[in-house]
Structures are given as C-alpha cells and as structure tokens.
C-alpha cells in the first residue's frame, strides 16, 4: 500500500487542475444535458408547443411545472391552459430566441431564473434540481392573472351564447368578430364623448381665465385626448375577445401605436396651450425677453415630445431601443460632422437669446436683410420684409453679422431741405425760418433740446432752408404720422407768409447780337 502511495499522489496532482475546474464550474445541483426542461427555451417550448390545437398533449405540457402540494394533474393542466389563455389574450408572444438554450443561465442578479416574456407580471422559470420549471409561486398566481385578464361578466356571457355564435369562420368564432366590431364602435363613442366633454370644459376654463384661445386649438386638443382614452379602453377590453396569440398581438400593437400617435398629438397641443398661457403672461410685462423665451420653450418642448414619442413607438414595435441608441452613439462623430451647421445654428439661437441684439417685433438691418423680426427659432430667425415676404435667416449668419437695430433708436432723425423761390424777401425768409422752429418746438413728438432750422444755401434754382430734427416715436407708422403733421404745418405757414416753394428751374440767356450772321471764331466784333 505504501509503495502505491507515491503513484496515487502523482495521479491526484496531475488531475488536480481538472478536478478544481470541474468543481468550480459545477452548479449547486445536477445539470441536465438534454430533455424537455433542460433550459429556459426547452421548458417554454414544452409548455407552449403541447397546448397547440394541432398538437394538444396537456400532460406533456405540464412536465415543466412545479406541482404545488395537493394539486392533481387535471388541476395543473387547467392552470397551464389558463396561463396560455392569459398570454394569448394579452398578445404576449414568447420569442424563443430570447430565451437561453443553456442550463446554467443567470439573471442580472446572479440567480438561476429567467422571465418568460416581458409584461407577463412575474411569470418566470427557475432551475430546481437541475430542471427549468415554472415554480409553484407562478402556478399559484395563475388564477389571479386570469381574473385580471378576463372579467366574470365575459365568462357569464360566453356560457350563455347560442350555438350559432360559436360557429367557426376562418378559424375564429362568429361572436369574436361581432365582439370586435362592438368594441370598435364603443371605442369610437368613448372618443367622441371624451372629446366633447374636454372641449366644453376647456372652453369654460379659458373664459374664466380670460384667455384668447382659438376654438380650433381646443378641438385639436380634445380630439387626441379622446383618442388616447378610447385606445386604452380598447386595449383593456381586447383580452375579453380571446383571440389567438397572433391576432391578439397584432391588435394590441395597433392599439398601442394609436395610443402613441394620439399621445404625441396630445402632448403637441398641450405644448401649444402652455405656450399660449405663457405668452399671455409675457404680454402683460414690458420686458420682451420673455416673449422670445416662449417661442424657444415651445420649440424645445416639441422636440422633446417627438423624441420621447419615437422611443415609445419603437418600444411598442419591439425594437431594441438601447441597441439603437448605442449604434447612434458609435456614429456620433459622423453625425456631429454632418450636423455642424445645425449645431452652429443652435448655438446661434442661444447667443441671440442671451445677448439679445434684437427682439421679436424689432426692425433690423443685417447684411442685406431688412425687415421686422417675426420669430426667433432654434435653427433660424424669420424676418418679415417691407414687401411682405418672409426671409428665413440661419442663426449662425446673424450671430456673425453686423446688425443695425432700427427699433432701438431713442429718436428718429428727420432731415430735409426746403427750396424757396429767389423772389422771396429777407423779411419773408426770416419769418418762415422762425415759424418752422416754432412748429418743431410745439409738436409733442419732437426732441426739444436739439434741432436745427436755418437758411443754409443759395441753390441753383432756390434758396435752401435746412430742417434737421428728431422725433421720439415707437413705430414707423407713428414716425410717418408725425412727419405728416409737421410738413403740413410748414406748408400752411408758407401759404400764410406768401412764401413759394421753388422747383428746379434754369434761365437760358441767348446772345442775339449777331442775329442771323454767323460769328467768326475768335472775332471780337459783329459784321456791319
């Protein structure tokens, strides 16, 4: 025995790494290499495949169900059938490729468990004694899931249906077609009722809050809200029709997509209503900065709404949004290079908002652009020209341009020259100049501390009087009105003084001494 000990020790030393590796990899319980419950995928296939109409083997379907104490095979089969009915009615399609084919799969918390399908309220598979099974807790929870999915009313109605409605057409019973039409009709009525109720309520609130809201906007807000409520109503009652998994899944996806689209429109209209309320508050203040903030907030909220809605719709279509966003992050550099102009415009909008070179409603001139600012957006600024067209100017161009803000003028300059006839006497000229000065001093919109009115120049055809003054008004229309009043008063003054305004004239003196005889070039005397 002693002579064999070295050989035994040598053998153990050689096998030690292999034994250690096997012990480290071995799970706590036995591992099945193959069988109906060897993995989460195999257990799910055993359950679902053996409850199909063309392969109905219920006793084989319950092979991967842990049996609660005291439960018979028939009771366990009933629980399995009820669980499948819940999955089918809710449109919860089990994707086998999403389930692991391995026996030792762990969840994110390191447990030997796997969810059957997302949205199944805790329906899971666990490895017990080397077999993947639906644990007893899931079997006990099936009646609760069944009651949450199917109402007692529908059970009672189905029990009393005449045989004619239980006839099968295209693989479905007639009552299912009738129930679907009835559900669609009820959903439509719910949509109209909720929309009408919300519209009337909002109309009353806008009157109470004294908001000037377009009735079309209220209708546009009430319609998507009614559609959202109707779509949710449809999704809640859809399981009562007990369609097969394929049909139920398609109808459920359609209902969720309608909900998402209506939700986007609802959020869009809600942003409009919020912006309208913010605008009413902004108009009550003298600061124009909050007016610009309303536009930017409205557009930013719209972008957020569209982004969130897009993610929601993709999730309802079973698109892996996480992988999609990861792919976008990988291509972020290329996207950034392609969108550098957009980024420049966004930063331009921030610069305009923070630096405030102009506000909405200002008259600006900038590198060939002239007009009234109508809207400052995230990408561009809209300018209404004086011939009533719209110029869409990228914000990046405006931030680098020299902007002449005509609306920021404290005073508006008025300069002109009056041509007085040469036959005007000195007394008339003095009286006229003093009268114009009095008109400027008396007008309520003129600057009183600085203006110039003088007999300034002897022109070719008139005596020139210079008028140089400033008007303090808020708009171009008010400027024109003030000029009209001043010029009309000057015209009336000239009529009272007998002063005539000259128009361009030229006196031509003809040398008639030579009469008809041609004059000799260089000659000094006419011919005799």
pLDDT at 483: 95
- Parse the chain into domains and list their residue ranges: 40-149, 172-330, 338-407, 412-497
* Mean pLDDT of the 157-165 span: 81
E strand or H helix at 481, and its extent?
helix 476-497
Tell me the pLDDT band of 376, cut-offs 50, 70 and 90: confident
pLDDT at 315: 73
CA angle 54, 58, 59 (to 5 degrees): 135
Q: Is the pTM of this model over 0.85?
A: no
Architecture label for domain 412-497? 2-Layer Sandwich (3.30)
Least confidently predicted of 207-211, 359-363, 410-414, 470-474: 207-211
pLDDT reading at 384 higher than 50: yes
Instruction: Give whichever of 136-145, 240-249, 313-322 has the largest mean pLDDT.
Output: 136-145
Tell me the pLDDT band of 333, cut-offs 50, 70 and 90: low
pLDDT reading at 8 higher than 60: no
pLDDT at 216: 73
More confident site: 289 or 186:
186
Contact 139, 79 (CB under 8 A): yes
pLDDT at 301: 83
Average pLDDT score, the chain = 81
* Mean pLDDT of the 430-451 span: 94
pLDDT at 511: 60
pLDDT reading at 7 higher than 80: no
pLDDT reading at 180 higher than 50: yes
Tell me the pLDDT band of 330, cut-offs 50, 70 and 90: low
Which tokens is 112 given? 């030997």
pLDDT at 318: 67
pLDDT at 4: 39
pLDDT at 334: 57
d(CA 251, CA 256): 9
What b-and-e string marks burial along 32-69, b requiring 16 or more CB atoms within 10 Å of the CB? beebbbbbbbbbbbbbbebbeeeeeeeeebbbbbbeee
pLDDT reading at 6 higher than 60: no
Which tokens is 426 given? 């000195």
More confident site: 302 or 415:
415
Helix 245-283 / helix 215-237 crossing angle, nearest 10 deg: 150
CATH of domain 338-407: 2.30.30.60
Strand ranges, E, within 113-228: 113-115, 124-128, 131-133, 168-169, 172-173
d(CA 45, CA 96): 8
pLDDT at 516: 60
Instruction: Say what percent of the chain tops pLDDT 70.
Output: 81
d(CA 238, CA 187): 11
pLDDT at 77: 94
How many residues belong to the chain?
A: 528
More confident site: 27 or 270:
270
Task: Please classify residue 334 by burial: count the beta carbons closer than 10 Å to its beta carbon, then call 0-12 exposed, 13-18 middle and 19+ buried.
Answer: exposed
- The SS3 assignment for 28 reads coil
pLDDT reading at 29 higher than 60: no
pLDDT at 336: 59
pLDDT reading at 283 higher than 80: no
Query: Starting from the edge strand earliest in sequence, which strands make up the sheet with 363-366, in order?
Result: 390-394, 380-384, 369-376, 363-366, 404-405
pLDDT at 263: 86
pLDDT at 13: 32
pLDDT at 328: 60
pLDDT reading at 512 higher than 70: no
* Mean pLDDT of the 389-401 span: 88
Least confidently predicted of 113-117, 268-272, 326-330, 343-347: 326-330
Instruction: Say what percent of the chain tops pLDDT 90.
Output: 35
Predicted confidence (pLDDT) per residue in 134-151, tens digit: 999 999 999 999 988 888
Helix 340-355 / helix 289-316 crossing angle, nearest 10 deg: 150
Residue 237, C-beta contacts closer than 8 angstroms, at least 6 positions apart: 183, 186
């Amino acid at each position: 025995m002693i002579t064999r000990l070295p050989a035994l020790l040598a053998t153990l030393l050689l096998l030690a790494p292999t034994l250690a590796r096997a012990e480290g990899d071995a799970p706590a319980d036995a591992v099945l290499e193959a069988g109906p419950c060897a993995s989460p995928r195999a257990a799910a296939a055993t359950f679902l495949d053996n409850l199909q109409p063309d392969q109905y083997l219920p006793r084989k379907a319950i092979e991967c169900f842990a049996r609660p104490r005291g439960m018979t095979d028939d009771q366990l089969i009933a629980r399995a059938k009820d669980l499948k009915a819940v999955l089918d009615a809710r449109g919860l399609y089990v994707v086998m490729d999403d389930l692991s084919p391995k026996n030792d799969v762990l969840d994110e918390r390191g447990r030997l468990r796997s969810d059957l399908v997302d949205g199944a309220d805790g329906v899971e598979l666990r490895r017990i004694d080397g077999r993947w099974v639906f644990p007893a807790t899931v079997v006990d929870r099936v009646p609760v899931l069944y009651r949450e999915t199917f109402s007692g009313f529908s059970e009672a109605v189905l029990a009393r249906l005449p045989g004619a409605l239980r006839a099968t057409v295209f693989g479905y019973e007639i009552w299912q077609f009738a129930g679907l039409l009835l559900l669609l009709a009820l959903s439509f009525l719910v949509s109209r009722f909720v929309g009408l109720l919300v519209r009337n309520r909002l109309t009353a609130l806008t009157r109470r809050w004294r908001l000037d809201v377009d009735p079309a906007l209220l209708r546009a807000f009430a319609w998507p809200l009614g559609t959202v409520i109707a779509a949710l109503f449809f999704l809640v009652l859809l399981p009562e029709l007990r369609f097969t998994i394929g049909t139920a899944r398609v109808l459920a996806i359609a209902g969720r997509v309608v909900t998402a689209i209506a939700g986007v429109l609802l959020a869009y209209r809600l942003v409009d209503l919020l912006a309208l309320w913010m605008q009413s508050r902004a108009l009550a203040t003298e600061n124009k900065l909050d007016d610009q903030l309303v536009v930017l907030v409205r557009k930013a909220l719209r972008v957020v709404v569209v982004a969130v809605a897009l993610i929601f719709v993709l999730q309802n279509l079973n698109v892996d949004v996480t992988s999609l966003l990861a792919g976008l992050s990988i291509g972020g550099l290329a996207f950034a290079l392609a969108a550098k102009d957009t980024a420049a415009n966004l930063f331009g909008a921030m610069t305009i908002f923070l630096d405030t070179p102009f506000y909405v409603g200002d008259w600006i001139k900038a590198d060939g652009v002239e007009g009234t600012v109508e809207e400052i957006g995230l990408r561009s600024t809209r300018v209404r020209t004086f011939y009533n067209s719209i110029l869409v100017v990228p914000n990046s161009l405006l931030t680098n341009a020299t902007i002449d803000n005509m609306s920021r003028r404290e005073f508006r300059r008025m300069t002109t020259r009056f041509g007085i006839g040469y036959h005007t006497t000195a007394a008339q000229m003095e009286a006229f100049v003093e009268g114009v000065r009095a008109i400027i001093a008396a007008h309520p919109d003129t600057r009183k501390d600085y203006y110039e009115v003088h007999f300034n120049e002897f022109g070719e055809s008139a005596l020139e009087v210079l008028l140089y003054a400033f008007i303090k008004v808020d708009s171009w229309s008010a400027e024109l009105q003030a000029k009209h009043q001043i010029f009309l008063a000057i015209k009336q003054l000239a009529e009272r003084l007998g002063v005539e305004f000259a128009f361009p004239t030229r006196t031509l003196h003809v040398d008639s001494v030579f009469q008809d005889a041609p004059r000799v070039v260089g000659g000094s005397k006419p011919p005799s």
